[in-house]
Amino acid sequence: MKSTIKEFDRVILTENIDKFGLKVGDIGSIVHVYDKDKCFEVEFATLLGETVAVCTIFPNQIRPIGKREIAHVRELAAA
């Protein structure tokens, strides 16, 4: 089955990534698709465009954004 996720798509995180302080539901942008969708490079940024993290993510850790979803805001922990 071919992935529906491609470069520049926005995606939703489906599991926490504690190393970067990322939480389920955080929104990221695909910046690169590796080796036939084996994994993805995903950038997570604040609403003002400041990059929080760029991570290599496996397909089971993200999903496409649904048609009837709305974004929710949370404050990042202090660095």
Report the pLDDT value the prediction gives residue 77, as an integer from 0 to 100.
80
Q: What is the CATH number of the domain that holds 31?
A: 2.30.30
In-domain check, residue 18 = yes
Report the pLDDT value the prediction gives residue 36, as an integer from 0 to 100.
82
pTM of the model: 0.89
In-domain check, residue 78 = no
Alpha carbon 9 to chain centroid, angstroms: 9
Report the pLDDT value the prediction gives residue 52, as an integer from 0 to 100.
96
**Domain encompassing residue 29:** 10-64
Report the pLDDT value the prediction gives residue 15, as an integer from 0 to 100.
97
Report the pLDDT value the prediction gives residue 1, as an integer from 0 to 100.
43
In-domain check, residue 77 = no
**pLDDT tens series, the chain, 79 aa:** 455 899 999 999 999 999 999 999 999 999 999 988 899 999 999 999 999 999 999 999 999 999 999 999 999 987 6
CA distance readout (Å), 3 to 31, 38, 45: 15, 10, 23
Number of domains in the chain: 1
In-domain check, residue 38 = yes
In-domain check, residue 4 = no
